[in-house]
Structures are given as C-alpha cells and as structure tokens.
A and B are shown apart, each in its own frame.
Chain A
Amino acid sequence: MNTQPAQMKKGMQVPRAKMPERDPQERGNDFNEVPLGFTPLQAMLEASRCLVCQKEICRTGCPVNVPIKDFMILIANGDFPGALRKIREANSLPAICGRVCPQEDQCEKLCSLAKKYESVSIGYLERFVADMEMESGNIELPDRASATGLKVAIVGSGPSGLTCAGDLARLGHTVTIFEAFHVAGGVLMYGIPEFRLPKKTVQREIDYLKKLGVKFEFDTLVGRTVTIPELFQEGYQAVFIGTGAGLPVFMNIPGENLNGVYSANEFLTRVNLMKAYDFPHYDTPVMRGKKVAVIGGGNTAMDAVRCALRLGAEKAMIVYRRSAQEMPARKDEIHHAQAEGIIFHFLTAPVKITGNGDGWVTGMECLKMQLGEPDASGRRRPVPIPESDFALEVDTVVVAVGTSANPIVPGTTPGLATNKWGYILADPETGATNLPGVYAGGDIVTGAATVISAAGAGKRSAEAIHKYLMGTKENNFESNGSKD
C-alpha cells in the first residue's frame, strides 16, 4: 500500500503550497471560514514534497502520534480515503486538528525540510483529506472489536472526551458521553469561532462517533445532575473526566465589573454557542462594541478580537503585556488577525478600567512594559516602565488571560485527588487518578492547553481504560468461575 511514488521528495525544488484564503476585507464582515482548503492537485503536489525520512521525526512532535509519512505517501498517490483511514488509526478528529493544531510548534517544526526550506503543510493536508470525505458524503467506519458489554462514562464532550469515546467504542465498549450543554463539542462549539472551525465540521466528527455507537446525554452536569459515584452505581465500570478549562480568571483591577467587560469565555459562548452574532433572530444578545480591547495573547484572545471585528468594531485591539514573539497564539491566527486590521498594543498592561456614571466602560488605563529576566514559563517577564501610564478609549473589554479549575466534579467526587490549584491529579501516561476506574485528561488536568494535547490525553486514557476493563473482566470471569 505504501509504495512510494517516484515523484516524491520534491521538497527542495517545490515551494510550500500557499493555502487559498478569503480576502481580509470581505471576511472581516462575516463569520464564514477564512482558509478555503487545498485542491486535490495542490494537495498531491504538497504531499510529494515530503522527504519520506527514515526517522519520521515529524511524528514524534504529534501528541497523538499520527503516522504522517504514511499518509503523505497515500496523498501523493492520490489515495485520499486511504490517507484519511491512516490518520484515523491515530486521530479521531482529523478535520478539527487539521484546522486548530499549532502545527508550527509540533509536527511541522520537526519536519526535515523546515531547517533549510519550508516544512510540508501537514496540518492543511490532514484537513484536506478529512474535508474530501465530508464532501463525498460517505463516512467510512473503521473495524470495531466485538462488543465487550462493558460500560464507560465520559464526562464532557470536548476534544479529550470525544477522542477517548471514539477509541473505546472502536475497542468494543459501550460508551456514553455526558455533556452539560445542549450540544456536543465543548470548546470546539462554545469557544473556537465559526470562521476558524466551522460548526458543521465539528458536527461531522460527532456524527462519526455516533456511527461508531457512542451515545450522548445532554443537559447533564456531572457533579450536579448525577455524580461520579452514582455513575458507578448505575453500572458504568470506568469513568473518564474531560471537563475542560473551567472558570475564567479576571485581572483583579478596578472596573472589571462594569457593563461592557466580559471574560473571553462569556463573550465567545454568547457569540459561538448562543449565536449572538445573529441577534435578534437568536435571542441571546452580545454588546457590539465600537472600540474593543481584548486582553491577552493566546488563541482565545485572537478568537475574541476577530469576533469583535466581525460584530462591527471600528477598532478591535489586542492588549498584551509581552511582545509579539512571546504570544502563545498560533502563527496563522496572528497573521490572519493582522491582515484583517486588528490593532496590537504590545508591552502594554491594563491597570484600571474606567466607566461612566451609568456603569458602562469608557476607557482603560494602561502601563507600558519592558521585558526583564525569563520567568518560570521561560518567557521574559514583563516589567512596568515607571510613569508610562496612558489611557485607551474603549467601550468593551474582553479578558482573555486564562482559566482556573472548575470545582464541581472534584467537589462532588469524594476522595478524588487534586493539586493545590484544584486540577485533577492524573498519571500523564494513562490519565489514571487516585480512584480506581476513574481517569482524567485535558485542561482539567493540565490547565489551559491545546485541542490536540487534550485529544492526546483522551487517547492515552482510552488505552489505559481498555486495559483496566479487560483486566476487570478477566478477574470477574475468574471469580465467577471459582463460584461455579
């Protein structure tokens, strides 16, 4: 199958394919997706740039270990369904990861071509084969192991939960996902906007899991509607906790409770999940600020500021206390934001949000910063420049400076060990917690991270849960046997 076509290894002669994108002026007015996707010819040519390295170092940069070289060869051969099948051996969410993974820090960073030339567009190609299948309308299901009759509960339907569920279903287990919201997808639905990750793409990956036999129970807040001990009483033999990022962190500066100040979680949930961009057709409103400042430099901040632009902001600004180099957001998103006219205030830290007598935001007082010594994260610490304060005129502020652990599941699961910040303690290799049969992964373990690292955690936990369940099953069988 993996015959290497003669025309491969073009990486040194052929430049990296450019992703076709919508015009920045046009796309700034709507929520439709920005990159348009490769054509089949573009994809085949781009895949043929792969040097087919013996070592396959790129693969070591992938948190879910996608067999990159194999799928490159298949695309170069024009076998797109085969390439997708290959990816799905390792990754249940290719259309999503192809869009939102920070490839430049993972697989593409390690690509042998990256040293002297430009890396192969691994992410765009992953997206391409997944989209080809969606367009064809035929969803190909993998082989499923015969049913084990063992039940697993997954808490949360974000990237870790979906991945864990998919892998366990393929292994023959009966899997139910419990989701607090009225739709599946977690951050993929409420957090990441339509223009970066179309909701029909998310829906399609979820449909794929449904076809694999995964069941969903919506409007169920584990910890309140039903607790983890109760799930075991209901006959589940193992539980995976993938409840995600949790509570928004505020800056604790004066004025944060004025009207017009949002957490990024609230702003994005209103816009994406509740479709406030389509108000009043949809009932949930969001403030459409004219001068919007988004505080932070991560992907969430980029998502929020680009939403603000699309909601009609004349000035949509990023306020970030470090410099451009330290921004944790994906490079693609920063470029997209710049092209769309987002204003960047680097080395700037807000100290106070000011308002009018009616309680509405009118401005933000800021300090200029300079970079000092590296801190614990390895990034240079921003230090205020004395007497550098200045005012920004704003009517909306979105705070995107991070999240803290949601206390609901740990608070209602007696004995579940957490660290001092409230994140669940779990073995990084298996996701095993201190409670038997209870596993956890994603942001509720690591704190805010990426979609793919959560998916990787879900995948590792699925393997561990499978081993645990099969062990339990054998033990049960033996003990039953001895009774007979």
Chain B
Amino acid sequence: MPEILEKRTLASKIHQFKFLTPRLVKKALPGQFVILRANEQAERIPMSIAGLDKEKGILTIVVLEVGKSTAQLGTLETGDYVLDLFGPLGQPTEMGNFGTVVCVGGGIGIAPLYPLIEGFKSYGNKVITIIGARNKDLLIKEKELGTVSDEIICTTDDGSYGLKGFVTDALSKVLEKENVGLVMAVGPVVMMKVISDLTKKQGVKTIVSLNPIMVDGTGMCGGCRVVIDGKNKFACVDGPDFDAHQVDFENLMMRQKAYLVEERRSYEEYQCRALNGVKVV
C-alpha cells in the first residue's frame, strides 16, 4: 500500500499528495495519468500526474474535492496510506520542438502542467504558461510554474488576481502577438472547447488532455469513449491527449453528467454522516 510521504493543502478543497512509487515513476512520462483507490469502498479515480521525481521515485498528484471519494482523500494526512495506486496509464504527451508552446491550465487542470512545461522546455521550446481560476484563493502553483516557464500569465474570473477574465482571453492576446506552434490545454471541458474554437479559427495546433468518466483505465470497459474525428476512441489507451480540433466536446460534456444524481447523493450522505461524527469507512 502506497504511503503518503507529504500532504499539502494548496487551496480550499485542493490537496497535493506525494507518494513513493519507484516502479510507477520510473516508467511515467508527462501527460500520463494514474488511478487511485483510497479504500475498499472507494471509486477508482483517474488523476493526472502533477510531478515526477525520477531520482527519488516520488509521484505528485493534486486532488480537488468534488465528491465522496475525493472528499475522503482530502481527509488523509502525511503518513496515511491509500489502498491502490495504479499506472502509469495512457499515452504520454507527444513532445518535440514547436517553437513557442502555450500551456493553458484551468482550475485543477493547472496541476498537471509542471511536468508538461518541463518536458517542452527540454525540447528547446519557449513556453508561455496561462493559468486561471475562479478567484485568487483557488489559483494554485503560480510560483512553481513560473520558475520553469518563460512567461506566466494569471487570470481570475472575478479579477481578484492577475487579469480579470478567462484563460481564453489571455490566450487570445498571446496569439495576437506571438507566433505560436502549439497550444496545450488542460482543464474543464468547457474551457478546452472554447480554446479549441479559438485556435481552430487561427489554425494553431492544439492538444487537449481529456478527462471522461473511467473505470479500469486499461481499455477494458470502454466507459471513457470519446468521439474523435467522428470515431470512438478510448481516452485511457488512445489518449488522454487528443487533437482538440477533432474532439466532439458536446458529447464529452453530456457524458460527464451521467452520474450527477448518484454523485450528489453519495456526497451528501457522506457529508451528513461526517458532520454528525459518524466514522465513514
């Protein structure tokens, strides 16, 4: 069972965990993901890789509490264990020299940018990073990402920090003045869709990292199927990266809502029991 070497709460309901998993880390590359199962009753949760310390064999992931399984993860502390940590899964992000690369992260999608930026830098790219969140408190990793990027731009929806507005507004300005070879976007589906619409018009190659609902992560269940250029692909084995301009975002958004009712019920029951001091296993 993997032990939590370090837990840090980065913002309200956003926690960073480090695990010692040498075998997994040795093989992992930027853009891949892992599946985590906290306890016997928990869901298998796919998580982007947010950091890889190849020398020490340490994996970093960042968790946003959105439901019961992730809220339970949030209660774990340094020294606690999770039942299962499985991976690396999926295809790594295709690296290469594109000239200037813009890495865009929205919300929890900011977390996996670090290894991607590092990767693009190692291929000699100029990397401009754009990160955005609802407000200043939820904007994570600015300093860390700033140290590896050539330029970093922050946006908040409410204007409490950086530029007021969305990451797409900032991206639009960057595309006006820079000759951009590649846009890499990670975040909410609606954000990735708006970015895709923008870059499609301008003919800028764009890769998105998709996060459909998933069970096994090995291609076996097909729950993570996404429509790419009119054909079904499995995000777990064919992705999670896809050419943004070929993605059917409408279908992905629809499929992400499949368990809204169940997720709410399970989360509410959990919160209710937690509030009343009932130990939840």
Contact = CB atoms under 8 A, between A and B. Distances in A.
Interface of A: 180-182, 190, 218-221, 224-226, 245-248, 250, 256-260, 262-263, 265-266, 269-270, 274-275, 279-285, 287, 358-359, 406-408
A247 B89 contact: no
Contacts of A282: 41
Contacts of B88: 224-225
B43 A284 contact: yes
Interface stretch (B106-114, B127-135, B258-266): B258-266
The 7 A-B pairs with the shortest beta carbon distances in the complex, nearest first, are: A285-B262, A266-B221, A359-B254, A263-B222, A219-B86, A248-B222, A280-B266
Nearest to A405: B219
A294 to B, nearest CB: 15
A279 B266 contact: yes
A408 B68 contact: no
A270 B215 contact: yes
Contacts of B215: 266, 269-270, 274, 284
Interface string B251-281: 1001101110011011001000000000000
B85 interface: yes
Nearest to A230: B27
28 contacts: A180-B218, A182-B37, A182-B84, A190-B216, A221-B89, A224-B87, A246-B219, A247-B219, A247-B222, A248-B220, A248-B222, A259-B254, A259-B258, A263-B221, A263-B222, A265-B222, A269-B216, A269-B221, A274-B44, A280-B269, A283-B41, A284-B43, A284-B215, A285-B259, A285-B262, A358-B257, A406-B220, A406-B237
A246 B218 CA distance: 9
Interface string B33-64: 00001000111100000000000000000000
Most buried by B among A181, A275, A281: A181
Nearest to B69: A283
B24 interface: yes
A259 B253 CA distance: 11
Contact of B87 (A225, A256, A265, A274): A225
B121 to A, nearest CB: 25
B220 A246 contact: yes
Contacts of A180: 86, 216, 218
Given A221-B87, A225-B88, A359 B255 contact: yes
A359 B41 contact: no
Most buried by B among A219, A225, A262, A279: A219
B227 interface: yes
Chain B interface size range: 35 or more
Nearest to B253: A359
Contacts of A359: 254-255, 257
Nearest to A186: B220
A359 B255 CA distance: 8
A404 B225 CA distance: 15
Contacts of A225: 23-24, 27, 86-88
B17 interface: no
B232 interface: yes
Nearest to B266: A280
Contacts of B67: 283
B269 to A, nearest CB: 6
B188 interface: no
A408 to B, nearest CB: 7
A250 B221 contact: no
Contacts of B37: 182
B234 interface: yes
A53 to B, nearest CB: 43
A479 B23 CA distance: 34
B11 interface: no
Interface in B186-223: 215-223
B83 interface: yes
A265 B86 CA distance: 19
Most buried by B among A246, A266, A270, A279: A266
Contacts of B221: 248, 263, 265-266, 269
Contact of A219 (B27, B69, B85, B255): B85
B42 A283 contact: yes
B262 A280 contact: yes
A269 B237 CA distance: 18
Interface in B221-261: 221-223, 225, 227, 232, 234, 237, 251, 254-255, 257-259
Nearest to A411: B237
Given A225-B88, A226-B23, A283 B68 contact: yes
